[in-house]
Amino acid sequence: MFYLFLLFGAVIFFFFIGLFFFFKWQNKKHILESLGMSLFLVKMPKYEKKEEKEKQDIKSLIGMVEQIYSNFLRLPQKGFFSAKPRVALEIASEIGGEDISFYIAVPVKMESNLEKIIQGVYGGAIIEKISQDYTIFEPVGETFASHLLLKKSVYFPLNTYKNLDGDPLSAMTNGLSKIAPNEGAAIQIILRPFSHKGVKGRGEAVISEMKQGKSSKQALAKIERLLFLKFLDYFFEILLGKSAKKENKGLEKLSPSSFEEAAIQAIQMKLQKPLMEVNIRLVAAAQNKERAEEIVYHLQGSFSQFTSTFNELTPIENKKARLKKLIYNFSFRNFNKNEKIILNLEELASIYHFPLFNIESPNIKWTKTKEAAPPTGLVSEGLLLLGKSVFRGEEKPVYFASRDDRRRHFYVLGQTGTGKSSLLQEMIRQDIQNGEGVGVIDPHGDLIEATLANIPKERMNDVILFEPFDIERPCGLNMLEWDSLDQKDFAVSEMIAIFSKLFPPEITGPMFEHYMRNAMLALMADKENQGTLVEIPRIFTDSGFMENRLSKVTDFLVKSFWQKEWAQTTGATRSDMLGYVVSKVGRFVENEMMRNIIGQSRSGFNLANIMNEGKIFLANLSKGLTGEMNSSLLGLILVSKMQIAAMKRGQIPQEQRKDFYLYIDEFQNFTTNSIATILSEARKYRLNLILSHQFMPQLTDEIRNAVIGNVGSIGAFRVGADDAEFLEKQFEPEFSKYDLLNIDNFQLIIKMMLKNTISSPFKIKTILPQQGNIEIMSLIKSLSKLKYTRSRIIVEKEILQRSRLGEL
């Protein structure tokens, strides 16, 4: 007997030990299953075009989320010892931030399809996988939580979005928007498929009883009896030889009241749609218990809108051990049977759906811009990498595919700090690395410095650096140089246009143009001894110098001006006209730095040779070091001389013309109305422009229309309101002005040439530029200046001799 008792005790002991380890294993398994879920942040577009808004019905947009939930009905069922797969829907205001975020967590096996499921319903949604879970808890603070249960039977529905005047989400997000940065709160909804078919059967039985005249309470009481009591009823019916049906045969059937009729319809409507098992939890963390409770109570109040005539959600507060358990289940996204309620998809959509454009609650984390699929013509490898397109989780590199695409020019617009310079820096680096001919005109200097640091050793001798602020080694730049008559005429016209751009129209005009044109034509007459802008004052004041220059003039109209018109201009009129014309040039002539540059009869470099030989020309026109007006004049001259050099390539067979890529940052400072000619004709001369600036009001209407009408590729970083309004026409329907106003830094909305065809607009993330080697910069500068600049003393002596400024 003793041994039998000992054996029984051992069995009981090992049974409880096994039970302990079984529950411990189950708990560990549930934790692993929770950690095996993938968390996603879902962001919706806030802004749509006004006309699109008017066509959209908010209720139908909310209802579309039911299509997403219907996919969760097909989650696979697990065995007896495993938890059913579940989905977590969460609206959270994290600790340390004020954004309201919408999350969805799904089993890992479902992660690859989730993006397709959501974007199949809401095409503008962006789904980002979160590698590190968010938290609403403060390390030092208090936490409070509650869960919601149905007050009445599962068969009776809640009020849904179809019957509410506004969007039910507004009340919930308004509650979360009042969370302070050192507080956190979340609404968590756990779903899992509901496979118990008996609920619908019993619901239909309740309806049947009510149609016979029973009240809803009576019908529910009858249908919801325990299975044991139903079995006893059945047993006694067989024993007595009669059935309930026979007993009631003689009873009079009553018609349902109007209230019961409405209840019947409500139950039918609830059971029409698929059902899911649901947990709803409200959790808050704050510096003290009272504040945490206040946040939860506020969230509880937002659920009162779902109260219908027949049912409502009742908050159940959790304290001490129950609170600890709820927080545990919240953290691991566990489903708790004790918190279970059953909702249909319409009720679920009312409680949780993604925010739509009608929501005005602050701090919601929206998508800043819409997404657009990249064009099908993108190539996996190409001439120059711009960045990568990221669309629905798929990344694709974005290249300019061919030289011909780049010959149609590239126009980039964006506010300061958005990533323009970084994009240009990386494009320039790649062109130089690829052995291309490159020119850069930079009004700030940073782009030039970054480019110098990225010059490969094998191309150090190709660099021509133009730094006008280096007064000890001035580099000549003479606008009045020419090789052919058409170049001479173009140079004169451009100089007139340049002065008209630099000075207000009220201090230039027909007389200034008339006098300046004749002065320049006289100075340019001697091809072997071409004049400079510095000599313009001398030709008006030194009759001997003027006669010497006229001896080389062949144009009778120019001779007539000097020998008749100017000779007959005397007294105050001559003095006034002299001051009127010379004062415009004097601004630059009187500046020592500028005089030593524009006063040299021969430029320190030949732009035609630079282009034909594929060299690297870098012009650092830093406004801070050169002066704004000086920087503009030099840049305007350089761009004009580039155009002259490009047109000179007409003498070279087209197939022998090397591509030359000219980058002009803040190009509005360096272009006249002749930009239209450059954009339309420079392509055949292989001068390929990359133009960049900050905002369109910087351009005249004529230049703006020339750029928009002639460039093949156009890209926009974030821009201002006026520019967004104008550019919207270039990027619609894929992108609106709101996208252009809100795009993140280093992201570019682009419409580009792909295989001689303009692509549809899409968005790319530009690549970060390489920093390069700053140690080689000083060596490159020294090499360039030894070859292309001269000593200041020699230059000043030569200019003084030619211009005789000291005597005038």
User: What is the DSSP annotation of 523-572?
Assistant: HTS-TTS---GGGHHHHHH-HHHHHHHHTT---HHHHHIIIIIIHH--HH
In terms of CATH, what superfamily is 370-462+607-808?
A: P-loop containing nucleotide triphosphate hydrolases (3.40.50.300)
Overall average pLDDT of the 673-691 stretch: 85
Q: Please, what is the end-to-end C-alpha distance for the chain in angstroms?
A: 137
Partner residues linked to 766 by β-bridges:
387
Residue of 762, 766, 764 lying closest to 373 (CA atoms):
762
Overall average pLDDT of the 206-225 stretch: 71
Whether the Cβ atoms of residue 626 and residue 663 lie closer than 8 Å to each other = no
Tell me, what's the pLDDT at 793?
94
- Is CATH 3.40.462 the right assignment for the domain spanning 37-196+273-351? yes
User: Which stretches does DSSP call E strand in 58-141?
Assistant: 87-93, 100-107, 126-130
Tell me, what's the pLDDT at 381?
87
pLDDT at 319 exceeding the cut of 90 = no
Three-state secondary-structure class, residue 304: helix
- The C-alpha atoms of residue 464 and residue 620 are separated, in whole angstroms, by 11
Per-residue pLDDT of 408-438, as tens digits, reads 999 999 999 999 999 999 999 999 999 999 9
Overall average pLDDT of the 290-302 stretch: 94
Tell me, what's the pLDDT at 228?
47
Residue of 386, 437, 762, 460 lying closest to 611 (CA atoms):
437
Tell me, what's the pLDDT at 727?
92
Q: What are phi and psi of 261, to 5 degrees?
A: -60, -45
Distances, alpha carbon 334 to alpha carbons 105, 352, 770, in Å: 11, 18, 47
Overall average pLDDT of the 319-325 stretch: 83
Three-state secondary-structure class, residue 389: strand
Sign of CA dihedral 415, 418, 422, 423: negative
pLDDT at 246 exceeding the cut of 50 = no
Tell me, what's the pLDDT at 45?
87
Q: Which two tokens stand for residue 658?
A: 């090397």
Tell me, what's the pLDDT at 16?
58
pLDDT at 247 exceeding the cut of 50 = no
Q: CB count, 10 Å around CB of 263?
A: 22
Tell me, what's the pLDDT at 80?
47
Q: What are phi and psi of 745, to 5 degrees?
A: -60, 145
> Pairing mode, if any, of strands 37-43 and 463-466?
unpaired
Per-residue pLDDT of 568-577, as tens digits, reads 888 777 887 7
Overall average pLDDT of the 361-369 stretch: 87
Q: Which two tokens stand for residue 535?
A: 């000599």
> If pLDDT is split at 50, 70 and 90, which confidence band does 256 have?
low
pTM: 0.80
> Pairing mode, if any, of strands 437-442 and 660-665?
parallel
Class of residue 251 by CB neighbours under 10 A (exposed 0-12, middle 13-18, buried 19+): exposed
Tell me, what's the pLDDT at 679?
85
Q: Which two tokens stand for residue 352?
A: 């949780």
- The C-alpha atoms of residue 533 and residue 250 are separated, in whole angstroms, by 121
Between 664 and 193, residue with greater pLDDT: 664
- The C-alpha atoms of residue 690 and residue 430 are separated, in whole angstroms, by 14
- The C-alpha atoms of residue 31 and residue 13 are separated, in whole angstroms, by 27
- Exposure string (b/e) for 520-556, b if CB count within 10 Å is 16 or more? bbbbbbeeeebbbbbbbbbbbebeebbeebbeebeee
Tell me, what's the pLDDT at 446?
94
Tell me, what's the pLDDT at 214?
72
> If pLDDT is split at 50, 70 and 90, which confidence band does 512 have?
confident
> If pLDDT is split at 50, 70 and 90, which confidence band does 249 have?
very low
Between 576 and 617, residue with greater pLDDT: 617
Tell me, what's the pLDDT at 628?
92
Tell me the DSSP string of 218-239. Answer: HHHHHHTS-HHHHHHHHHHHHH
- The C-alpha atoms of residue 116 and residue 111 are separated, in whole angstroms, by 10
Per-residue pLDDT of 443-474, as tens digits, reads 999 999 999 999 999 999 999 999 999 999 99
